[in-house]
């Protein structure tokens, strides 16, 4: 048996249908091209008969994608199958995926038919699809709850009719891994023509078992997994592509299975799908979550500094993430502070570790996470500028509407100095940031910007969080106000004050004759 497992991505079909609003043709094409770079074998890109927009998206992607098989979904109805053929016919290679329910609850309560009638519909659909392509997939919807005798009968009939891929979905995420693996084993033992088709699985995550069930299935002989980026999809979602791909890569010693996925594209594809679909990835999500390669515990950080494999079973670079992140929090130990100071270019003789650590703990308890510029500020806390020399917003006014641009006016105070500026932008926040940039006269770039709601309902507070890049360094800013524009302004001012503090620290370091590691490398 071939040990390569095909990855069938259904982000643009099962994933997209669960979104609050449909994606545009351009957005779907962006995701499809990213999936092609990722190396998916088959991408299911829509349900062509469902709407003219979906038909157009499927056809546009089919024209464009060359290195993955493009697939469309259809019910076991000739009109659906014809729509798939019409949309996909422009592709060099394509697949028609047709399905019908097979479980008793679906057959009796949803379809209101006899199983023999459903079997005949499936056979007819597969034969009709074969008129347009040799690549036909048939799915037994709700296979996880289908009596095994009926499932074997349906699979045998679909293969005989011409289906060369048979999908066994756990449509409602009901089965346990040993049950689902047992279903696949039963099919291989009892269906006489099963060697003529690839067995696929499509598992949902209602009980959090979609990945475990998929792995149990391929371990039992299935050779295609249907999944989505970030696990998005109906209800609790689908099997997560990034998780099954990395499981098979990392545990090849046990599973002996491979995929054609380009693993270093995983993180980039995850971010793209999250952004376009407006579905944030939870911080503790495996493989691609913000905390997947972050370490906060002092014990873990100590192990990581000694050897990365003490607490990391894969490298962040292996999935396209730049590096491991050691979070500086109140749980961090002295060794991490010492390590970070060394990375910043300070020798042990430049600071008292115990004093610095106690100041760090006090700051960490107050603000949660401490950044590099905070550490440097603590080192020079007796000499640095005080709050009186930081920027504060005294007044701001932003006007935005349906016109071509927004305008903003800002009044900033820094000690005895007052600065007033105005600017236009392509939106209210952009206009505000342009005005602030003119006022402070610091050449920075906003590298990342996020807004979120803290609290519930209309009375919740708006939180803005951003990262500002200045001279190759990143500075973080946060703002929390009832108005998200106010919060955005406060977040940028927070970051700018950190830049000013860094400027002051740099001057003090120069006076003290301390040369940073970066300056040594650059020969400054």
CA distance 391 to 227: 49
CA distance 396 to 181: 62
Residues 304-316: tens digit of each pLDDT = 556 667 757 787 8
Domain limits, the chain: 6-277, 294-370, 387-512
Distance spanning both ends of the chain, measured CA to CA: 60
pLDDT of residue 370: 75
How many Cβ atoms are within 10 Å of 12's Cβ, its own excluded?
28
CA distance 33 to 272: 11
Reply yes or no on whether the pLDDT at 502 is more than 60. Answer: yes
Segment 53-62 shows an average pLDDT of 95
pLDDT of residue 300: 63
Least confident range from 159-163, 170-174, 271-275: namely 271-275
CA distance 485 to 400: 11
- Determine contact, residues 376/344, Cβ cutoff 8 Å: yes
Sheet holding 473-481, edge to edge: 445-454, 461-470, 473-481
- Determine contact, residues 100/75, Cβ cutoff 8 Å: yes
Reply yes or no on whether the pLDDT at 520 is more than 80. Answer: no
Least confident range from 30-39, 196-205, 492-501: namely 492-501
Residues 332-350: tens digit of each pLDDT = 878 778 777 776 667 777 6
- Determine contact, residues 452/463, Cβ cutoff 8 Å: yes
Structure tokens at 409: 């006016």
Q: pLDDT over 90 for what percent of the chain?
A: 57
Element (H, E) at 410: strand 406-414
Strands 294-295 and 198-203: unpaired
Segment 501-510 shows an average pLDDT of 75
Angle at 387 between CA 383 and CA 388, to 5 degrees: 100
pLDDT of residue 351: 76
pLDDT of residue 222: 98
Residues 450-461: tens digit of each pLDDT = 887 754 455 456
Structure tokens at 211: 């990945």
In degrees and rounded to multiples of 5, residue 445 shows phi and psi of: -130, 140
Reply yes or no on whether the pLDDT at 322 is more than 90. Answer: no
| Residue 499 CB burial class (10 angstroms; 0-12, 13-18, ≥19) | buried
Mean pLDDT of the chain: 87
Residue 262 or residue 317, greater confidence: 262
Residues 463-483: tens digit of each pLDDT = 788 889 988 888 888 887 778
pTM equals: 0.70
- Which stretch, 242-251, 346-355, 367-376, 385-394, has highest mean pLDDT? 242-251
Question: Which CATH superfamily includes the segment(s) 6-277?
Answer: Aldolase class I (3.20.20.70)
Segment 198-211 shows an average pLDDT of 98
pLDDT of residue 362: 81
Closest CA to 432 of 470, 385, 466: 466
pLDDT of residue 92: 87
Strand partners, 94: 70
Reply yes or no on whether the pLDDT at 384 is more than 50. Answer: no
CA distance 400 to 405: 7
- Determine contact, residues 498/373, Cβ cutoff 8 Å: yes
Reply yes or no on whether the pLDDT at 522 is more than 90. Answer: no
Question: Which CATH superfamily includes the segment(s) 387-512?
Answer: Alpha-isopropylmalate synthase LeuA, regulatory domain (3.30.160.270)
Reply yes or no on whether the pLDDT at 326 is more than 70. Answer: no
Residues 235-259: tens digit of each pLDDT = 999 999 999 999 999 999 999 999 9
């Amino acid at each position: 048996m071939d040990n390569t497992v095909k990855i069938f991505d259904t982000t643009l079909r099962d994933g997209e249908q669960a979104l609050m609003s449909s994606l545009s043709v351009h957005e779907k094409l962006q995701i499809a091209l990213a999936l092609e770079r990722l190396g998916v074998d088959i991408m299911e890109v829509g349900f062509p008969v469902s709407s003219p927009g979906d038909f157009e998206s499927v056809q546009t992607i089919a024209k464009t994608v060359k290195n993955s098989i493009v697939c469309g979904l259809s019910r076991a109805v000739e009109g659906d199958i014809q729509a798939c053929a019409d949309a996909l016919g422009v592709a060099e290679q394509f697949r028609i995926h047709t399905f019908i329910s097979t479980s008793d609850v679906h057959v009796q309560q949803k379809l209101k038919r006899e199983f023999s009638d459903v079997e005949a519909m499936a056979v007819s659909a597969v034969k009709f699809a074969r008129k347009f392509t040799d690549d036909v997939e048939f799915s037994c919807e709700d296979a996880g709850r289908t009596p095994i005798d009926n499932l074997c009968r349906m699979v045998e009939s679909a293969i005989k009719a011409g289906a060369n891929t048979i999908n066994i979905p756990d449509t409602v995420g009901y089965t346990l891994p040993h049950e689902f693996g047992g279903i696949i084993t039963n099919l291989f033992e009892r269906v006489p023509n099963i060697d003529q088709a690839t067995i696929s699985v499509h598992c949902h995550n209602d009980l959090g078992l979609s990945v475990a069930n998929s792995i149990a299935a391929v371990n039992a002989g299935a050779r295609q997994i249907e999944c989505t980026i970030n696990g998005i999809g109906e209800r609790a979602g689908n099997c997560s592509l990034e998780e099954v791909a990395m499981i098979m890569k990392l545990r090849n010693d046990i599973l002996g299975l491979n995929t054609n996925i380009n693993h270093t594209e995983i993180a980039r594809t995850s971010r793209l799908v999250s952004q376009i679909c407006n579905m944030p990835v939870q911080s503790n999500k495996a493989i691609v979550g913000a905390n997947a390669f972050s370490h906060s515990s002092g014990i873990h950080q100590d192990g990581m500094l000694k050897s990365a494999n003490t607490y990391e079973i894969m490298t962040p670079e292996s999935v396209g993430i730049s590096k491991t992140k050691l979070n500086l929090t109140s749980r961090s130990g002295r060794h991490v502070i010492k390590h970070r100071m060394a990375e910043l270019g300070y020798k042990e003789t430049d600071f008292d570790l115990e004093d610095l650590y106690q100041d760090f703990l006090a700051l960490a308890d107050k603000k949660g996470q401490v950044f590099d510029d905070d550490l440097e500020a603590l080192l020079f806390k007796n000499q640095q500028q005080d709050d009186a020399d930081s920027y504060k917003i005294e007044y701001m006014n932003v006007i935005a509407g349906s016109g071509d641009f927004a305008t903003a006016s800002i009044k900033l105070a820094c000690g005895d100095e007052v600065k007033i500026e105005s600017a236009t932008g392509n939106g209210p926040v952009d206009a505000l940031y342009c005005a602030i940039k003119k006022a402070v006269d610091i050449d920075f770039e906003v590298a990342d910007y996020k807004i979120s709601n803290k609290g519930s309902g209309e009375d919740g507070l708006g939180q803005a969080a951003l990262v500002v890049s200045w001279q190759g360094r990143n500075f973080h800013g946060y703002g929390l106000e009832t108005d998200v524009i106010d919060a955005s302004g406060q977040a940028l001012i927070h970051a700018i004050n950190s830049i000013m503090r860094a400027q002051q620290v740099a001057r003090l370091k120069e006076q003290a004759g301390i040369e940073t590691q970066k300056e040594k490398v650059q020969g400054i």
